[in-house]
Each structure stands twice: as structure tokens, then as C-alpha cells.
């Protein structure tokens, strides 16, 4: 069964946010890419663009959170290696002009009293929380797990920006090597 119109519109909004940001996201593009009729916007999103953006960010955030919760690994190194492998193709899309929909929402607020920034903060914190849980499940102390989880999300978001600017995956590769190397050095030290 194909997704309903509302779900297709949210998915199209996520894609628009990844490529054009909040300011560049248009209802015309969302409708064209979702197959929705003009009246569908206000039928499904009576509060307009702000509601659609908020729901798209939350939807994308929940999808990423589920992927992070399912990361395999019995040791911190294995979880980090799995994380780096999962994000690599996503960051690779940044080299051709894509990005993170949630980051676009964090940066896209214009006079919305911080609504978009709050949504993005909530999503990013949920990713850090689930990564922290995965890492503590491997035996890493909670404080270290939380710090490492925040660092991993920072690597993800920073890599989106740097790889997009460079048109190359090299900034991600450098960060991934560094994070993995530091973790392996920490483990070897004790």
C-alpha cells in the first residue's frame, strides 16, 4: 500500500528541507513531489508552512533515531564503527547539495519565536540520548557515553556542512578517522 497523501507531503518536505532549507522550501515543490492537490496543504496542515516544516523535522528525526537505536555492536568501538558506516552515505549526499533536514530547520527560523530551533534541539537531543543508551549498553560509563554521543552527532552535522562546501567527502573521512582512532587509543590505554 502506498503512503497516504499526508505522509507523501511530509516526505517531500523532508527532501525539500535537505536541498533548499526552510526559506527555499515551496508548497509548489512539495505538492509536485508528493502528488498532492493544492488544497491538500491546508487540509493536512491547517497552520501552513510552519506546521509542515515542524512535522517534517520531527518525522525525519524519528526515522534517524530508529536507525541509531538499531546500531549493532557489543563494544563502543563497534557501535561507533556502525554509526560511521550508517552516516557515510547520508553525508556523501551532501557533496552534491543535500544536507540535514533537521539542521535546515534549526537554521531556518525567521521570526518564529524559536519554534524551529526548539524542534531541532529536541530532535538532536533524542539522537544523542539514543546513542548514549547504545554506548552505555556496551559498558561505557554514562558520562563518557553521553560525551561521545554528542561528539558523534556533532561530527554528523559538521560533516554535512563541510562536505557540502567542499563538494567532497574528505572532511567526513578525516573526522571519522580521528574519532575512530581516538576511541581505539582510549580502549588500548585501558
Rounded CA-CA distance 139/126 in Å is 20
| Mean pLDDT of the region 102-121 | 84
Task: Tell me what the pLDDT averaged over the chain comes to.
Answer: 93
Which pLDDT score, from 0 to 100, does residue 110 have?
63
User: Does residue 171 sit within a domain?
Assistant: yes
Report for 101-110, 144-153, 177-186: range of highest mean pLDDT: 144-153
Report if residue 169 sits inside a domain: yes
For 21-82, the DSSP string reads HHHH--HHHHHHHHT--TTHHHHH-TTTHHHHHHHHHHHHHHHHHHHHHT---SSHHHHHHH
What is the residue range of 185's domain? 57-189
pLDDT in tens, 147-165: 999 999 999 999 999 999 9
**Whole-angstrom Cα distance, residue 184 to residue 67?**
24
Instruction: Assess if residue 17 is contained within a domain.
Output: no
Q: What is the pLDDT of residues 1-54, one digit of tens each?
A: 457 999 999 999 999 999 999 999 999 999 999 999 888 888 999 999 999 999
User: Is residue 4, in this structure, part of any structural domain at all?
Assistant: no
Cα gap 156→116, rounded to integer Å? 20
| Whole-number Å distance between alpha carbons of 135 and 139 | 7
Q: Write down the pLDDT at residue 1.
A: 42
Percent of the chain with pLDDT strictly greater than 90: 84
Domain count for the chain, please give it: 1
Residue 42 lies in a domain: no
**pLDDT of res. 3:** 73
Secondary element (H or E) of residue 165: helix 142-166
DSSP 127: H
Q: 8 by DSSP, 3-state: which?
A: helix
For residues 135 and 82, give the distance between their C-alpha atoms in angstroms, rounded to a whole number: 12
Where residue 67 sits, what CATH number does that domain have? 1.10.357.10
The answer as to whether 15 is a domain residue is no
**Per-residue model confidence (pLDDT) at position 113:** 57
Report the share of the chain in percent with pLDDT over 70.
96
In a domain, 51, yes or no: no
Residue 34 within a domain: no
Question: What length does the chain have?
Answer: 190
Amino acid at each position: 500500500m502506498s503512503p497516504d497523501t499526508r505522509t507523501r507531503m511530509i516526505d517531500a518536505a523532508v527532501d525539500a528541507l535537505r536541498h533548499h532549507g526552510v526559506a527555499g522550501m515551496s508548497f509548489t515543490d512539495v505538492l509536485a513531489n508528493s502528488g498532492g492537490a493544492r488544497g491538500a496543504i491546508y487540509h493536512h496542515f491547517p497552520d501552513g508552512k510552519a506546521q509542515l516544516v515542524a512535522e517534517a523535522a520531527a518525522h525525519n528525526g524519528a526515522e534517524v533515531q530508529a536507525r541509531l537505536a538499531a546500531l549493532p555492536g557489543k563494544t563502543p568501538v563497534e557501535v561507533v564503527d556502525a554509526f560511521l558506516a550508517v552516516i557515510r552515505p547520508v553525508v556523501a549526499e551532501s557533496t552534491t547539495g543535500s544536507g540535514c533536514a533537521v539542521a535546515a530547520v534549526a537554521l531556518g527560523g525567521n521570526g518564529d519565536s524559536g519554534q524551529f530551533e526548539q524542534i531541532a534541539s529536541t530532535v538532536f537531543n533524542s539522537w544523542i540520548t539514543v546513542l548514549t543508551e547504545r554506548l552505555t549498553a556496551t559498558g561505557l560509563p554514562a558520562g563518557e557515553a553521553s560525551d561521545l554521543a554528542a561528539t558523534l552527532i556533532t561530527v554528523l552535522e559538521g560533516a554535512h556542512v563541510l562536505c557540502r562546501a567542499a563538494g567532497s567527502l574528505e572532511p567526513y573521512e578525516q573526522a571519522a578517522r580521528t574519532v575512530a582512532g581516538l576511541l581505539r587509543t582510549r580502549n588500548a590505554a585501558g
